[in-house]
Amino acid sequence: MSRALFLLFLGWQILAQAQYQTWYGVEIGFKPVKKTKVELGLQHRMNGIKEWSRSYVQAKFHVKVVDGVQLFSGYRFGLLPNSNSDLDLNPTTYRHRTALGITINPTDWMLDKTRLSFGLTAQMQWNRAKFSRERTVFRSKVNAKYDIEHFPLSPFISGEYFYDFKRDISYTEDEVLIEGGTKAFRWFGGFEIELPKSHSFQLALGKRTAFLSNRSYWIASLTYQVRIQ
């Protein structure tokens, strides 16, 4: 316990001295039909702990194709401060994101139940916003989680890669060149705190490293999850 407290203290010390965001979220997951799963969520992101960054409402729909393979689609509506408020006189603007992807869990193919889960996710997403360039981003994520026996904490880690298909735009003499490239890396480490009756908290510390820009920041994330069986 003292180690956990020390790590927590260390994490906050790092955040206090760096650019960071704090994310607060609520997620509800349920299975409407066999082999399907729906996740609904709210997320509130802050720059530091005082300045509002953005808020999201999101929905994700999963379909199990075969054991260990799921397809999913997702939608996210975001509300954020409007940096072009001089153009439309609105202090906030909105952002839409749709996504399609696949999740592969090789541990599901093992015959014996294992406490280690390991997943690969690939996702295409399309972002649209009022005064921002449309973005098409490919994300691939690797994550691992271990459910410790007779212990309420389940540690996990994840690493994610972002590729933006419209990252670089060059206006040459007679044409517009659009080129893709690595946009960012993001990793998280944390643990899930299991609560009774399918409730849990997920506490994570991560870092988003933007490629070719200095907009890198740390992330402290707290999510409350409910899974209705």
Partner 1 sequence: MKSLVLFSILFLSFSSCKKIEGPGGTSAIRGVVKGNHFKAGQHEVLQVICTAGGQIEHGDYWLLNTGNPSKQYYIYYKNPTWISNADPQLQGRIGIMVTFNYSDSNVEIATNTQAAIASVVGIPVSSMVSNDMITITDQSYLDVPDSDNGTTSFGMDVANQGNSEESTSNIPMAEERVYIVYGKNAYASDDVRTDEAGRFSFEGLQTGNYKVYVLSKDPLNEEVYYRVQKEVSIQNKATIVDTETYTINY
Of the chain, the end-to-end C-alpha distance in Å amounts to 31
**Rule CB under 8 A: is residue 125 a binding residue for partner 1?**
no
Whether the Cβ atoms of residue 49 and residue 22 lie closer than 8 Å to each other: yes
Q: Which residues contact 73 (CB under 8 A, 6 or more apart)?
A: 60, 61, 98, 99, 100, 101
CA distance 192 to 196: 13
Q: Which of 16, 106, 130, 148 binds partner 1 (CB under 8 A)?
A: 130
Q: For residues 36 and 55, which CB has a smaller minimum distance to partner 1 in the complex?
A: 36
**Rule CB under 8 A: is residue 216 a binding residue for partner 1?**
no
**Rule CB under 8 A: is residue 174 a binding residue for partner 1?**
yes
For the record, the structure tokens of 122 come out as: 């690939």
CA distance 173 to 112: 62
**Rule CB under 8 A: is residue 169 a binding residue for partner 1?**
yes
Candidate segments 10-18, 122-130, 145-153, 189-197, binder of partner 1 by CB under 8 A: 122-130
Question: Interface mask (CB under 8 A) for partner 1, residues 26-55, using x and -?
Answer: -------x--x-------------------
Of 52, 130, 135, which Cα lies nearest the Cα of 84?
130
**Rule CB under 8 A: is residue 97 a binding residue for partner 1?**
yes
φ/ψ of residue 195, rounded to 5: -110, 165
Candidate segments 47-55, 123-131, 140-148, 204-212, binder of partner 1 by CB under 8 A: 123-131
Q: For residues 123 and 154, which CB has a smaller minimum distance to partner 1 in the complex?
A: 123
For the record, the structure tokens of 130 come out as: 């009022």
Handedness of CA 163, 169, 170, 174 (dihedral sign): positive
**Rule CB under 8 A: is residue 175 a binding residue for partner 1?**
yes
Q: For residues 12 and 75, which CB has a smaller minimum distance to partner 1 in the complex?
A: 75
Q: Give the helix, strand, coil percentages of the chain, each rounded to 5.
A: 10, 70, 20
CA distance 18 to 208: 12
Strands 20-30 and 36-47 turn out to be antiparallel
Q: How many residues bind partner 1 (CB under 8 A)?
A: 34
Candidate segments 131-139, 179-187, 194-202, 213-221, binder of partner 1 by CB under 8 A: 131-139
**Rule CB under 8 A: is residue 94 a binding residue for partner 1?**
yes
Q: Which residues of the shown chain bind partner 1 in the complex (CB under 8 A)?
A: 33, 36, 59, 61, 63, 71, 73-75, 77, 84, 86-88, 94, 96-98, 100, 126, 128-134, 166, 169, 171, 174-176, 178
